[in-house]
Structure 1
């Protein structure tokens, strides 16, 4: 008997609490709806449970289907990824401004980077000239065996083969350095275009 009375009292209290709450929302047509219980027309959007004094006691999130939840989660992930990309871009921009506070600093580093590659290219060209001179000497020695090249000594043949391999190697290396020079120049061009925007954005703040 006592247990039944307690349960009945609990149900009565819960009912009174529910009666003291007002649910409100704005439906898909823009109508403001209020009710003493959760509103079925607003299951797809937030609802607020308010007390008798008008204060918000609880914000009830939308009740989504599984497909709707998946779409919402996908949208949230996309937004989070976008925010992460923007944050990373801001970080890179700050680092770029710290490294290159002015056009003069950027141009100086550009020239230094390209000069280093030019030095390598000059060394390759010098090596090619040396190999070309060596090839002339080898060809001169082969003149003695012009009538019958098969009689040329093995060491001379190896010397000629090695010269050809070295020439081919230098040509490939030179082509790689030329491509590297273009890549570095392009990187500095892209950086400069970005930096010009960042420097311009700083001008009002520095005035």
Structure 2
């Protein structure tokens, strides 16, 4: 028995035994999708909107053939629109969740400022230590330059050259560290500034998810 005839026989048998709901027994849509799979449903089948669907009676006989309601291009556009709508809805839900989390974490500006200071404290401490080390290395470099004056017009001793090289390498490492610390301080301040602008609107009564300012930085923390 071919698959279509088998499906008809099975549906008819289920309907006769009362195992199918009345609506399903009365309206049975079948089609073969783009993958060659036969699908049966009690309503028009979304996967077959670009092809004909058979509307069958409860005994499996074909009542009528429903023509395609969309071309392949129309269906692709329809599915793309649905995907974009689903993405937009997911973003909206994420924004609501993020705003509620922000409000729960920071009920007022004082709490937010305390969190900012706590986030910046270790970086400020590290930057201060780096700046002190830079001052020490600069002092050492000047001392080495004074010592090198004694050898003006002559080759520097190997030991003094090594000291100059080590000093320069240490200075570069500390300068890079200072730049990295400052960049992270700037990033954290920008994040908290962004959050504060968002929070001020939420504290003023804006509904969670309605504020257009981005909340990606909040999600990352």
TM bucket (normalised to shorter chain) is 0.5 to 0.7
Out of 63, 67, 71, the position equivalent to 1:65 is 71
TM-score (norm 2): 0.59
Q: 1:170 Cα shift?
A: 1.5
Query: Which of 1 and 2 has higher RCO (CA within 8 Å, sep 6+)?
Result: 2
Q: How does 1:109-148 map to 2 (within 5 A)?
A: 109-148=115-154
Out of 188, 195, 206, the position equivalent to 1:191 is 195
Out of 148, 158, 161, the position equivalent to 1:157 is 161
Return the alpha-carbon distance in structure 1 between the equivalents of residues 69 and 153 of structure 2: 96
Q: Give the unaligned 5+ runs of structure 1.
A: 1-20, 22-42, 44-59
SS of the residue 1:145 aligns to: coil
Return the alpha-carbon distance in structure 1 between the equivalents of residues 118 and 73 of structure 2: 57
Indicate yes or no: 2:183 matched with 1:179. yes
Return the alpha-carbon distance in structure 2 between the equivalents of residues 184 and 140 of structure 1: 42
Q: 1:202 Cα shift?
A: 7.3
Q: Which residue of 2 aligns with 1:87?
A: 93
Q: 1:139 Cα shift?
A: 2.1
Look at both structures and tell me which one has the larger radius of gyration over its CA atoms.
1
How many matched pairs? Answer: 145
SS of the residue 1:121 aligns to: helix
Return the alpha-carbon distance in structure 1 between the equivalents of residues 206 and 74 of structure 2: 44
Return the alpha-carbon distance in structure 2 between the equivalents of residues 130 and 71 of structure 1: 67
Q: Give the unaligned 5+ runs of structure 2.
A: 1-25, 27-48, 50-65, 208-221
Indicate the RMSD between aligned Cα atoms, in angstroms: 2.6
